[in-house]
Amino acid sequence: MKIACIIPSRYGSTRLPGKPLADIVGQPMIQRVYSQVKKASLPAEVIVATDDERVAAAVKSFGGQVVMTDANHATGTDRLAEVARKHPDIDVIINVQGDEPLIEPSLIDALGQLFIDDSTMTMATVASPLLEEEYNEPSTVKVVCNKKGDAMYFSRSLLPYPRHAFVNPPLKHIGIYAYTRDFLLKYAQMEATPAEETESLEQLRALENGYSIRVIVTDKRFVGVDTPEDLKRVNEIFNKRK
């Protein structure tokens, strides 16, 4: 089984223009993400998918692998599917966002291992405990799982609603996905679904079409970079590590 990690990276960002090339302690963010992903042991390939020549040039400058994709893709899934179509030798694709320079390599391996251990697995993702200050943040996506560890629903609202005290801690969805190549290509062809459009959460498309999404729960927390404040915080973390 060949596992590959694909990092979608768009240059445009309303809150942080040129985000993939933002400096993190002397290196562009896309290089920091790439370096973290390369620490995982299961992926045979790490590929940056971008629609911008500036990002592609940066990846080539540090020896990374890059694939140019169409600039008109409506979603990140469409961008991944384009890369998947160009690589029929890949069996499982793990999607790490290009703004996660602190991604934990062991989680990438844990996602890949799910597919090695279970040939029926089609899609998986990650969650961590939800902090109380995140309960009412629409930008923080929540997920509730069944006893098998599969997602029942994702929402920008608090799930489950605490009519009584929480029996289990609520979970925050972390946007790292793994798919079989076959399922990813099928998923990209599905029409948008009602809950997906209502919540603006693409993963609901899989659930509404009757597919399962396995959820790995971790106690690790990450700092994604969406704003200048996030970038400053990540730089501080890397400086402390140095």
pLDDT, average across residues 201-216: 97
Lowest mean pLDDT among 50-54, 164-168, 177-181, 238-242: 238-242
**Which domains does the chain possess?**
3-241 (3.90.550.10)
Reported pTM: 0.93
- The values of phi and psi at residue 115, to 5°, are -75, -30
Q: Is the pLDDT of residue 4 over 90?
A: yes
pLDDT, average across residues 191-219: 96
The pLDDT value given to residue 141: 94
How would residue 16 be classed by pLDDT, with cut points 50, 70 and 90?
confident
Q: Is the pLDDT of residue 108 over 80?
A: yes
Burial call 65-76: b when 16+ CB within 10 Å, e when fewer: ebbebeeebeeb
CA 173 to the chain's CA centroid? 10
Q: Is the pLDDT of residue 239 over 80?
A: yes
How would residue 218 be classed by pLDDT, with cut points 50, 70 and 90?
very high
> pLDDT: is 140 or 223 the higher one?
140
Mean pLDDT of the chain: 94
How would residue 227 be classed by pLDDT, with cut points 50, 70 and 90?
confident
The pLDDT value given to residue 153: 98
How would residue 224 be classed by pLDDT, with cut points 50, 70 and 90?
confident
Q: Is the pLDDT of residue 242 over 80?
A: no
